[in-house]
């Protein structure tokens, strides 16, 4: 009897807890639809506001994600590979059926600040609203005006292919409790305007942490590790708070050059997912990039190189020798001493390259496999992909050779394995 009684009260307790949990989740995930509006007449927007909006869109890389390969700008359809499946970007042109033509500024603002679509459904955080929430009201209104002035394009994104249970959108509400801190940051009165604007651009529109901060297993940025460096699309996004770890410290002018031209004479050239970021930053006024550089330099931690003495012990000598032969055959025409690219093009020497000096071989391997895409008239930036010419061991041999020849850093470990893993990731996409 007694046991049964206890069982019953347990059952009642469990039922009450379930009802409470259901009520809490309804409360958390319930979002109202915002009534559709008639698209504003494009000419009704102030020209200055629209102009400012184009700058905002560039700083936020909206077109980079919302344009499919070969597709119309902002019409969406680009697949984003996540550990949880594929998410397609949506159409943000002012088409009323398939785009955001019937969205009021209020609905747009809610999407940017809280990741909720006009009809009330939760958006996935592959859309970096956890960062855009830091934008000012003025920037959001300008982006809205700019997008509403685009040509409407009829285009519906393919359905997402996400794993269970993440294909159930309301779950994002719980994720938001952990990772969304809504609204702009308060001004830091101890710093000047440029620093404050830089912080707003880096943490907000620029969403730099989305790539440059390590992620946890549920796709949130790890707490307390902002800008410690992350991995995106198989590339390493280096830490942004120990930039001074490269052989030549990053100065402000080097940073501005890198961010606006994709090239800094004493460091890296931007490749992989960073290249489009720099192509967008090339179109905004220098004062914005200056503010970004100012803020980044204020984040720097002490130099790592000074506390880590170089150690070449353990280098694989035969691998390095094989790498030297391969380098002279495949790479020296461009990267060798006195090659036209080095002597005429003011290209960074591999000795100062952050890529070759990095703690992991990931981006050096990526460079070899993928090269630098043909940029049309900017042909000097071209590097052919070697993924069909070199096998994993050859890639590793060249990497080991570069590391030993151009840097005083300890040898990389397991480069063959890194190459194999990166190739495997490529095929699954």
CA neighbor of 407 nearest in space, from 332, 361, 356, 331:
356
Instruction: Provide, rounded to whole angstroms, the least separation between the CB of residue 13 and ligand HEC.
Output: 37
> Which residues partner with 67 through β-bridges?
76
Binding mask 119-148 for ligand HEC (x = CB under 6 A): ----xx-xxx---x----------x-----
**Contacts of ligand HEC in 163-202 (CB under 6 A):** 202
Q: Is the peptide bond before 165 cis (omega within 30 degrees of 0)?
A: yes
Is residue 207 part of an annotated ligand binding site?
Answer: no
Q: Collapsing DSSP states into helix, strand and coil, what is residue 332?
A: helix
Asked if 330 interacts with ligand HEC (CB under 6 A), we say yes
Of 13 and 343, nearer to ligand HEC (C-beta) is 343
Is residue 312 part of an annotated ligand binding site?
Answer: no
Q: Mention every residue, 6+ apart, whose C-beta is less than 8 A from residue 316.
A: 400, 411
**Contacts of ligand HEC in 237-256 (CB under 6 A):** 237-238, 240, 243, 246, 255
Is residue 121 part of an annotated ligand binding site?
Answer: no
Among 138, 304, 333, 374, contact with ligand HEC (rule: CB under 6 A): 333
Taking every pair of Cα atoms in the chain, the longest distance, rounded to a whole number of angstroms, is 93
Asked if 374 and 269 touch (Cβ cutoff 8 Å), the reply is no
CA neighbor of 86 nearest in space, from 166, 165, 161, 189:
161
Among 268, 279, 400, 409, contact with ligand HEC (rule: CB under 6 A): 268
Cα distance between residue 364 and residue 356, in whole Å: 6
- Structure tokens, 419: 């190459």
Cα distance between residue 383 and residue 336, in whole Å: 14
Asked if 396 interacts with ligand HEC (CB under 6 A), we say no
Asked if 277 interacts with ligand HEC (CB under 6 A), we say yes
Binding segment for ligand HEC among 173-181, 182-190, 306-314, 326-334 (CB under 6 A)?
326-334
Asked if 234 interacts with ligand HEC (CB under 6 A), we say no
- Structure tokens, 364: 């050096």
Cα distance between residue 145 and residue 41, in whole Å: 10
Of 130 and 292, nearer to ligand HEC (C-beta) is 292
Is residue 52 part of an annotated ligand binding site?
Answer: no
CA neighbor of 222 nearest in space, from 235, 236, 210:
210
Among 60, 204, 234, 411, contact with ligand HEC (rule: CB under 6 A): 60
Instruction: Provide, rounded to whole angstroms, the least separation between the CB of residue 409 and ligand HEC.
Output: 13
Asked if 89 interacts with ligand HEC (CB under 6 A), we say yes
Binding-site residues for heme c sit at 62, 65-66, 208, 211-212, 331, 334-335
Binding-site positions: 62, 65-66, 208, 211-212, 331, 334-335
């Amino acid at each position: 009897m007694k046991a049964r009684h206890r069982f019953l009260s347990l059952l009642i307790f469990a039922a009450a807890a379930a009802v409470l949990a259901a009520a809490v989740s309804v409360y958390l995930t319930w979002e109202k639809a915002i009534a559709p509006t008639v698209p504003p007449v494009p000419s009704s927007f102030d020209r200055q506001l629209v102009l400012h909006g184009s700058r905002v869109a560039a700083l936020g890389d909206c077109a980079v994600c919302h344009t499919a390969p070969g597709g119309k700008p902002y019409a969406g359809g680009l697949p984003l590979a996540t550990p949880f499946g594929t998410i397609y970007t949506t159409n943000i042109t002012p088409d009323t059926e398939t785009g955001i033509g019937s969205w009021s500024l209020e609905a747009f603002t809610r999407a940017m600040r809280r990741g909720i679509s006009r009809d009330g459904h939760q958006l996935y955080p592959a859309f970096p609203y956890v960062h855009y929430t830091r934008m000012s009201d003025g920037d959001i209104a300008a982006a809205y005006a700019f997008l509403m002035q685009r040509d409407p394009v009829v285009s519906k994104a393919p359905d997402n292919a996400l794993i269970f249970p993440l294909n159930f959108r309301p779950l994002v509400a719980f994720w938001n409790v952990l990772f969304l801190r809504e609204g702009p940051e308060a001004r830091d009165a101890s710093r000047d305007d440029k620093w404050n604007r830089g912080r707003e651009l880096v943490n907000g529109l620029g969403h730099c942490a989305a790539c440059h901060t390590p992620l946890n297993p549920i796709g949130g940025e790890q707490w307390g590790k902002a800008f410690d460096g992350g991995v995106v699309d198989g590339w390493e996004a280096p830490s942004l708070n120990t930039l001074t770890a490269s052989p030549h410290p990053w100065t402000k002018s080097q940073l501005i050059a890198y961010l606006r031209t994709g090239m800094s004479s004493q460091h890296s050239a931007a490749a992989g997912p960073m290249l489009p970021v720099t192509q967008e930053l090339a179109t905004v006024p220098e004062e914005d990039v200056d503010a970004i550089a100012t803020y980044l330099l204020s984040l720097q931690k002490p130099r790592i190189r000074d506390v880590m003495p170089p150690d070449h012990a353990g280098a694989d000598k035969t691998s390095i020798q094989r790498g030297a032969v391969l380098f002279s055959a495949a790479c020296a025409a461009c990267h060798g001493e006195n090659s036209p690219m080095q002597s005429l093009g003011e290209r960074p020497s591999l000795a100062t390259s952050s890529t070759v000096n990095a703690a992991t071989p990931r981006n050096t391997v990526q460079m070899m496999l993928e090269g630098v895409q043909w940029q049309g008239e900017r042909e000097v930036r071209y590097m052919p992909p070697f993924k069909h010419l070199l096998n994993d061991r050859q890639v590793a041999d060249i990497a080991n050779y570069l590391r030993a020849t151009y840097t005083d850093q300890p040898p990389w470990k397991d480069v063959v394995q890194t190459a194999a893993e990166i190739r495997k990731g490529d095929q699954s996409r």
